[in-house]
């Protein structure tokens, strides 16, 4: 069984057929989902919280995406705290630094990320982290903030990882896990598969980041959680493991990181 550790289930792209998308994923062996509330405007986090409250397979993560850092206001911390009170919210994020697209100024991105790491520490929650940069600045500054605001007390995951092996190994030493998306399957991204091959399976997660980043063979289509196994299949090949081993390990890793109840367990209210 797979677990999609990062998908945007409340994106408008799924409005017409969300139930069918979740059913197809379940058919494909996806037992649970972490629905990321950020990425489509801060207020949209509420939709992820509501979806998680209404579907036992879905858990939510709430935060402010680096693209949306410029929307951060005096009211934002209280808004986030309100959503984090829901027992179905298992993480803060996705938050982080994106110096590639630069939809928000660097200073605003750093401030928003720092405040969210601090919030995660206060609430004792893991963090789903987005990092992307034309040079290594985003990566270096991200780890600096993670260290200063997290104080070594936090765990988190670098989602949709596309960085170097050297940075991934540094991140592992800072309590972070690494999650791979459909980019791992792209024909031209051989270097990323080499990075994955050198990482310990017990620190790896898989995700779709749906509706974006459909895997090789389906590129250009709307991505959906049913295809997370295609990422896992490529990861298994890179690691020289069986798909079953990688499915079991990545699902166990995600459940441990996000502290999810076992399927079928009474869980939290």
CB atoms within 10 A of CB 78: 8
Provide the minimum distance between the beta carbon of 36 and Zn ion in the complex, in angstroms, as a whole number.
5
Task: Select the residue interacting with Zn ion from 130, 203, 230, 255 (CB under 5 A).
Answer: 130
Question: Which part of the chain contacts Zn ion (CB under 5 A), choosing from 164-172, 182-190, 208-216, 250-258?
Answer: 208-216
For residue 96, the 8-state DSSP code is E
Structure tokens at 223: 């991505």
Provide the minimum distance between the beta carbon of 266 and Zn ion in the complex, in angstroms, as a whole number.
30
The reply to whether 209 sits near Zn ion by the rule CB under 5 A is yes
Q: Is the Cβ of residue 72 or residue 239 nearer to Zn ion in the bound state?
A: 72
Q: Is the Cβ of residue 6 or residue 239 nearer to Zn ion in the bound state?
A: 6
The reply to whether 207 sits near Zn ion by the rule CB under 5 A is no
Cβ contact 221:243 at 8 Å? no
The reply to whether 67 sits near Zn ion by the rule CB under 5 A is no
Structure tokens at 132: 């992307």
Phi, psi of 63, rounded to the nearest 5 degrees: 180, -165
Size of the site for Zn ion (CB under 5 A): 3
Provide the minimum distance between the beta carbon of 245 and Zn ion in the complex, in angstroms, as a whole number.
26
What b/e string do you get for 34-71 counting C-beta neighbours within 10 Å, with b at 16 or more?
bbbbbbbebebbbbbbbbbeebebbbbbbbbbbbbbee
CB atoms within 10 A of CB 157: 29
The 163-202 site mask, x for binding Zn ion (CB under 5 A), equals: ----------------------------------------
Cβ contact 135:163 at 8 Å? no
When CB distances to Zn ion are compared, the closest residue is 130
Residues in the site for Zn ion, rule: CB under 5 A? 94, 130, 209
């Amino acid at each position: 069984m797979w677990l999609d550790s990062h998908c945007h289930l409340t994106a408008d792209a799924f409005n017409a057929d969300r139930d069918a998308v979740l059913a197809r994923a379940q058919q494909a062996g996806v037992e649970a989902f972490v629905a990321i509330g950020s990425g489509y405007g801060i207020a949209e986090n509420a939709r992820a919280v509501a979806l998680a409250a209404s579907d036992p397979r879905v858990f939510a993560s709430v935060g402010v995406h680096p693209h949306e850092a410029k929307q951060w206001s005096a009211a934002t911390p209280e808004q986030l705290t309100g959503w984090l009170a829901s027992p179905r919210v298992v993480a803060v994020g996705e938050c982080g630094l994106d110096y590639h697209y630069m939809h928000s100024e660097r200073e605003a991105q750093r401030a928003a990320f720092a405040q969210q790491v601090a919030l995660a520490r206060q609430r004792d929650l893991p963090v789903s982290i987005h990092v992307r940069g034309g040079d290594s600045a985003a990566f270096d500054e991200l780890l600096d903030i993670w260290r200063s605001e997290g104080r070594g007390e936090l765990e988190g995951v670098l989602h949709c990882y596309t960085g170097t092996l050297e940075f991934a190994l540094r991140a592992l030493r800072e309590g972070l896990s690494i999650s791979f998306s459909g980019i791992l399957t792209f024909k031209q991204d051989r270097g990323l598969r080499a990075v994955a091959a050198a990482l310990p399976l017990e620190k790896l997660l898989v995700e779709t980041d749906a509706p974006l980043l459909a895997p090789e063979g389906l590129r250009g289509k709307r991505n959906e959680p049913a295809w997370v196994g295609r990422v896992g299949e490529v990861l298994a090949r890179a690691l020289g493991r069986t798909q079953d081993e990688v499915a079991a390990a990545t699902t166990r890793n995600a459940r441990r990181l996000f502290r999810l109840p076992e399927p079928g367990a009474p869980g939290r209210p």
